[in-house]
Structure 1
Amino acid sequence: MAGNLRTLEQVLKIATDAKLDPSDLAPVAQTLYFAGDLNPSRMKIMECDQSLLQYLQEGSTLTIRGDKSDTAVACTSDKTFELKAAETSNTLLLVPDCKTTKEFEDNSEPLSQKEVIGLAHEYFELRPCRPKLKRLKQLLEENRYDGPLYEDDDSHQGKKYTFTELLESVQASEGEIRDKLVKLQACNINGYWRLLSNDFDSSVLAQIIQLIDENSWTTDHVPTKETLDTLENLYPRNILQHCLDCYGDKKSMETDSGEEIVYSLSEDKVCRAFAEMLLKPAGKFNLSEFLESWQQSVPEGMKTTLYQLEGLALIDRTSRPEVIWHFPVIELPEEEVLRFDTLFQVRSKWTLDEIRPYIQDLVGGKSSVTALLQKYARSSTNKDGIKIYNAKRPART
């Protein structure tokens, strides 16, 4: 290394030869020397903003996720970033403890030797992106929970996944995966995250509602302990508790015997669940007949309204009779282009109120529903003065 180091006299001579004015130079000269293995593939450089830099400096981790066929993403504890390589025309040198003029101290030595420990011709850019959660539902669909009686039946059982295994397979942060598990109404059963089968979930909810009716309780005051104690001979307690969490809101009440935990069933969630029970196996359903059957199926005192079906079902008011059918947003592609292609294949023209529930989940960062529609659709006004949207280009087939 000694033969590679420059003296202060050599540095000043180089400055003079370059016709630099000594008064313009910093009080400290930093000379660079190369040592060790500088293979560019040995080290990677990543660009990050101030908030991400602080996150890493605090000791938090950044995890890269994706299979060989996936576009790589990097995840913090609660955010997902697209990870892409960007080339640079200049060679980047990695020099630890290299200082700017403002960082020099008054008593600094006039010459400082700095070792170059790495070089690169590209760096990784991190751009915030939506988590890729479609795979999460696909994995959980492999083995839905039908109840304890079917757990030993291997004829229809697929793989079950722990949370660690889901983290290894799904391109999203831990926080985003946990949030999605809640939205999917997934349940932790013996250490594995499972979706309840539609029939089993419906039967548990129906049994809770029947118990409410038998005891003349109101749906906004369902005693937790009494419900679990009464029905645990039919369903596991953790499943009953899960169902209450999915369709109700927990609250604490003071009674003469002390604090009591009760649930208030959500009218919108329960009505939506009963609508899906009716629509999912039915294909297209006569709208007026559906509305009548739907209202009759929900618990007494609850009122069904069409807004409860946003992102769950579509209505065709141009057909005679008018019809409704199951069309859940959760089944649509995550990619913006494919999402709009699918929507315009299903229906060539949409009003804002109709399409919003099917693109709202694509909104994030600086995007908005309006921005997405401007990008992928063209608007016009129909004869009734209502703005409608249709495909900006022919949909893919």
Structure 2
Amino acid sequence: MTDHNIRFSASSFAEQRNFKLMELPAELCKLMEEALLSKGSSGFHIKGSSSDDAVLCTQDKTYIIRSVSLSNSILVVTSPPDSDISLEPNESGVIIRDQINEILELTQAIPKLHQLNSLLRGKEYGEDEEDNEDFQDVQVRECTVSLVSHWSMFSKKFTYANAQAMIQASEEELNRGLRERRILQINDSLRPISSAYLTKIIQFILNSLTALSLNHASVPVEKLSTALVDDHDVPRIVSVQVMSWFGDIGDIDGRWKMDVDAVVKEAGLGILKESKDKSLDQEDFISSWKELVGEKFASAVSLDLLAGNYLITPAGPYSIHEVLKYFPVSSLPVDPAQRFADLFLTRRKWKNEDIVPFLSDIAVNSKERDKMLLKYARATTDSQGLWYTARAQYNG
């Protein structure tokens, strides 16, 4: 056994608590090893203000960083410097630099994309928008203190760079969040498009495909965007981004392959949102939806596309007739306990297939979602299937 001469560093007091030990999950270890072998950047970024829980972001995932206490301390040691001549020849020594009593643990988490809603409130892009670089100065309300401290509440523009710096999300998650929230990038500003205008653009696109006899699986982007400018005054910068949300645009041939289900879904959402303050007869809604998308795409219309955006309820206390009501998952709290409280105040009892779509945005995967259901709900089974009721009692 080799003997070691152990001593404390001369600067051990100054270095105390300067070292942190982080435990990396297997997938992050692999990324780090690949970066070391290629001598490139690991692509890891720590995000969070002083009032936030810090997160570590890779290119496509977000991990929350938590401190876990250790039952046994760990010493950080190094070899003595070459200038240390106090050691005897062939004598081995180590220098104690710090003592660690905790490790940093990483757990994959949902990105905090909901903050975009507050930061972009009042900056909606609508049909009557003037296409220039001078936008009305709108005060952003309901921002958290930590976000406001990083960005002026009176800023005229909220840019993609602002979002990268302030939103706790990986770049891939942020880009996906901007698409799913239908947020345009115009004149270096992020602008959520109004639902009514987006529904009109969807209808313009579908009508133009028919009028120009274009195959929806291979649409010349330039031809369609020109038609939308000439016939409906939809700016190219808007129409091309809308196309990218609902399909793929080829980098080489400049052709758009339309995602039929995505377009049909958005058309149905537009009708639901317009009627958010009233209930809709199911048959009338389906009929209006099919009329909006046209005969060619009517076969794609299905309520399954709108899961997580509506509820089916009886038309009255003694009625067997059912109606649709707009109930979007985006309107619910992001905190799991509050989410379940709202859901069980809305309905005392949920079928498994009905409640699952309203949990998709607060769970990393189905395993985490099932853990939440076990924690906040009671499961029962009958002839109709699996049902959930609240573990806690909520007064409606």
TM-score by length of 1: 0.78
Over 3 Å counting, the alpha-carbon distance change for 1:171 and 1:41 in structure 2 is farther
Residue 70 in structure 1 maps to residue 74 in structure 2: no
2:283 aligned to which of 264, 284, 288: 288
Structure number with greater Rg is 1
Deviations 1:252-298 (A, max 9, x none): 9xxxxxx9644343332222222222221322222232222222222
Over 3 Å counting, the alpha-carbon distance change for 1:347 and 1:53 in structure 2 is same
Provide the residue aligned with 1:374 in structure 2. 374
Length, aligned pairs only: 356
Residue 266 in structure 1 maps to residue 259 in structure 2: yes
2:203 aligned to which of 201, 206, 230: 206
Provide the residue aligned with 2:136 in structure 1. 154
SS in 1 for 2:295: coil
SS in 1 for 2:297: coil
Q: Pick which of 111-120 and 350-359 moved more.
A: 111-120
Deviations 1:325-370 (A, max 9, x none): 1112223222322222221111111112211211233443682544
Once the two structures are TM-superposed, the CA of residue 125 in structure 1 deviates from its matched residue by: 2.6
Q: What does residue range 154-303 of structure 1 map to in structure 2 within 5 Å?
A: 154=136, 159-233=156-230, 234-250=233-249, 261-282=254-275, 283=277, 284-303=279-298
Q: Could you tell me how far apart the structure 2 residues matched to 1:157 and 1:243 are?
A: 27
Counterpart residue identity of residue 393, structure 1 = A
Counterpart residue identity of residue 348, structure 1 = R
Q: Could you tell me how far apart the structure 2 residues matched to 1:353 and 1:89 are?
A: 44
Over 3 Å counting, the alpha-carbon distance change for 1:366 and 1:358 in structure 2 is closer
Provide the residue aligned with 1:52 in structure 2. 28
Over 3 Å counting, the alpha-carbon distance change for 1:210 and 1:75 in structure 2 is same
SS in 1 for 2:13: coil
Flag structure 2 segments of 5+ consecutive residues without an equivalent.
81-87, 141-155
Q: Could you tell me how far apart the structure 2 residues matched to 1:334 and 1:89 are?
A: 34
Q: Could you tell me how far apart the structure 1 residues matched to 2:270 and 2:392 are?
A: 36
Flag structure 1 segments of 5+ consecutive residues without an equivalent.
1-25, 99-107, 253-258
Q: Could you tell me how far apart the structure 2 residues matched to 1:90 and 1:176 are?
A: 37
TM-score by length of 2: 0.78
Q: Could you tell me how far apart the structure 1 residues matched to 2:355 and 2:164 are?
A: 32
Provide the residue aligned with 1:113 in structure 2. 93
Q: Could you tell me how far apart the structure 1 residues matched to 2:208 and 2:27 are?
A: 51
Once the two structures are TM-superposed, the CA of residue 310 in structure 1 deviates from its matched residue by: 0.9
Q: Could you tell me how far apart the structure 1 residues matched to 2:360 and 2:62 are?
A: 18
Provide the residue aligned with 2:124 in structure 1. 144
Q: Could you tell me how far apart the structure 2 residues matched to 1:55 and 1:223 are?
A: 39
Once the two structures are TM-superposed, the CA of residue 324 in structure 1 deviates from its matched residue by: 0.7
Once the two structures are TM-superposed, the CA of residue 188 in structure 1 deviates from its matched residue by: 2.3
Query: Structure 1 vs Structure 2: percent identity of aligned residues?
Result: 26
Over 3 Å counting, the alpha-carbon distance change for 1:116 and 1:393 in structure 2 is same
Provide the residue aligned with 2:344 in structure 1. 344
Q: Could you tell me how far apart the structure 1 residues matched to 2:293 and 2:21 are?
A: 55
Over 3 Å counting, the alpha-carbon distance change for 1:68 and 1:222 in structure 2 is same
SS in 2 for 1:361: coil
Provide the residue aligned with 2:146 in structure 1. none
Deviations 1:149-197 (A, max 9, x none): 1654526586532222112211222222122223223232222333212
Once the two structures are TM-superposed, the CA of residue 135 in structure 1 deviates from its matched residue by: 0.9
Once the two structures are TM-superposed, the CA of residue 389 in structure 1 deviates from its matched residue by: 1.3
Over 3 Å counting, the alpha-carbon distance change for 1:114 and 1:28 in structure 2 is same
Once the two structures are TM-superposed, the CA of residue 45 in structure 1 deviates from its matched residue by: 1.0
Over 3 Å counting, the alpha-carbon distance change for 1:109 and 1:289 in structure 2 is farther
Q: Could you tell me how far apart the structure 1 residues matched to 2:68 and 2:59 are?
A: 25
Contact 1:250–1:263 (8 Å) recurs in 2: yes
Task: State the superposition RMSD in angstroms.
Answer: 3.1
Counterpart residue identity of residue 344, structure 2 = F
SS in 2 for 1:141: coil
